[in-house]
Every structure is written in structure tokens, then in C-alpha cells.
Structure 1
Amino acid sequence: QAATLLDAESPADLEVAVAKYWASYGGSRVGHAGLHVHGGISIDLDYPIHRYFLWAKHLELRLGAGTAQLDRLGSMLAEAPVLDG
């Protein structure tokens, strides 16, 4: 949704924050799971698993940690007008 809205040059702050949260959360979770499953092998540079963890950390630092995105989403939702329905 975020990419579609951005492509159409529409406002997409909420959708971008949601996408950043899930990318950060998912990448971090997969990276940590890989470390746990493979144990000490994931530290060995001969195997590619260490790169997945490094890439997940890079995304987290680049996009903002999941908690920062949740704070941003909360602020956006708190400022949004309440719809009567």
C-alpha cells in the first residue's frame, strides 16, 4: 500500500511507518532466529548466515527501530480526527 500511494504521489505517512515497522521487526526476528538455529556457525564468516543478521541490523538502524515506528504510529493515530460512524 505504501509503495502504491507513493507512486501515485499521495500522502502515505501512516502506510510508510507501518511498512518500516514490519520490515524492522521481521528482519530482526529472522536474523535472531538464524543465529539461534545455527548456533556458533552463524559467527563463522565462512557461512553466509552472519550476513543476514548484519543486514537485519542495518535495516533496523536505517529505518528506525520497531519501537520508534510504533511511537510514530501512535502519534499519528492520536492526532487523527475521530470519525463518527
Structure 2
Amino acid sequence: GLAPSRDKLNALQRAFNRNHALQCGFCTAGILMSLTDFLSRQPDPSVEDVRDVLSGHICRCTGYDGIIKAVMEAAAELRGQSVQASAS
């Protein structure tokens, strides 16, 4: 899996959780796989970069805002920047 161990999530998974970026869960695995690969190659993405990666996925549950916010937070965390928990 993507997590470093059974009891610990990776940065992107944690950010998805913090930002409520999960909906029904059907497309989540594919989105996480694509975005994990993307962040390994592009550690400082723009929102447009993230939207481009997401364009290969179809999700009827969401407007992608929570997913994009989660990706930007995970990217910052992976670069060693402080990430504050969402207030929502």
C-alpha cells in the first residue's frame, strides 16, 4: 500500500483525511495512486498542475476542492513546511 506501515498513513492520506477529500471511496484509491506518483515527481505543484492530474479521473461525488487542498497541504508537508489542521 501507500502507507509506510499498517498503523501510519502517508502525507497525502493524512491530508485527504484532514480535508474531508474522501467521498464514496470508489475513485479514492486511483486518485491517491496518481497523486502520490505525481508528488514524487513534482514536489511543488501549482493548483493547475493538480487539476491536470485529476483530469484523468471522473468522480461524481465531489467538486475536487477538498482533494486539491489536500494535495497542496501534502506537498507542503513533504517539502518540510508546517501544515496546520483544517478548522472545518
**Structure number with larger C-alpha Rg:** 1
Higher RCO structure (Cα 8 Å, ≥6 apart)? 2
TM-score in terms of structure 1 length: 0.32
The structure carrying a bigger helix percent of its residues is: 1
